[in-house]
Amino acid sequence: MRDYLSRPESDKNKTDMNKILVTGSTGFIGQRLCAVLQERGLSVREAVRNTSTVARDAVAVGAIDEQTNWAPALKDVSVIIHLAGRAHVMHDDSADPLAAYRRVNVAGTSRLAQMAAAAGVRRLVFVSSIKVNGEATDEQPFTEMDTPAPRDPYGISKWEAEEELKAIGRETGLEIVVVRPSLVYGSGVKGNFLSLMRLVHKGIPLPVAGCDNRRSLLGLENFVDFLATCVDHPASPGQTFVLSDGEDLSTSELIRHLASAMGRPARLFSIPPAWLQLAANLFGKSGVYQRLCGSLRVDSSHARRVLGWVPPQTVDAGLVSAVRTFLQWSGE
């Protein structure tokens, strides 16, 4: 049985609780989100591991797990946007990866929600992952109505966290909003997207001209705009949203867009996808093949319909922004 923290009746109708708490505020998404919220005149507090490098309104909470003391960060907070968690890693060397993900992403998130409910917080916006839906799509894109099918420890932990939050919401009245973003790109992006930009920038020929796949992406500006919309939109509580820009690209199209933004040629050649898949399987790189040639489409029409949300930035503009920052980092 969950050890729910009761929400004091006297806290439910507080009118002076107007801060937005952002966890994971020092990351790629969090930094831009905090800036956008502040640009819109909202009061933002950041929950960080330590405050030594943060000059803004921030509270140190230390490591996130089942024992984290969120109380100092929750004072006068009305809404939480929970970005922090154990991020997806390609080569996890933990003895028990699922247990490691669960401690942060499930137990840590549950602890935050319980303490938030007790403190009178009104709403918690949880950034989950499209990996809750699965790793790939065939004919139909992912939607909120799909039966969850997470395949790896990260996706499993995000799904379990969603379920835990919904249970806490039913028990305490804390409003829960779940957002499952597709791959996020933009200024300052890292990970696989940064690796792809490096390959394109170096002019390395890539054998994906024959891959007829479709992948959904989510621009950073679009993502933070959507999260900001969820803060006070009356229709967002109780909803789960899968999210993308709405402009799907093949891998070869994406590379051509990146190359064009860099002012470089797109060096593509074709190897039959079946051969690529065979080679990837032989070398234990089936995941690489899936990311390059597999499809993962997301239908975010539910978000547009329920919240009236329109992505403010086109894919082209988002990719140009990502490339511009990359070139600055590269000294060009």
What is the C-alpha to C-alpha distance for residues 169 and 55, in angstroms, rounded to an integer? Answer: 33
Residue type, 305: R
Q: Is 77 helix (H, G, I), strand (E, B) or coil?
A: strand
pLDDT at 123: 98
- The DSSP-derived string for 194-254 is HHHHHHHHHT--BSBTT----B-EEEHHHHHHHHHHHHH-TT-TT-EEEE--S--B-HHHH
Catalytic pick among 101, 154, 185, 289: 154
pLDDT at 41: 94
pLDDT at 280: 76
**pLDDT averaged per 10 residues, the chain (length 332):** 42 58 96 96 93 74 96 97 86 83 98 98 98 95 97 96 98 98 96 94 94 95 98 97 96 97 95 83 79 92 97 96 93 69
Domain ranges (residues) in the chain? 16-181
pLDDT at 146: 97
Of 265, 226, 273, 270, residue with least CA distance to 245: 226
pLDDT at 133: 98
pLDDT at 288: 77
Per DSSP, 12 falls in state T
pLDDT at 135: 94
CATH class for the region spanning 16-181: alpha beta
User: Is 185 in the active site?
Assistant: no
What is the C-alpha to C-alpha distance for residues 219 and 42, in angstroms, rounded to an integer? Answer: 22
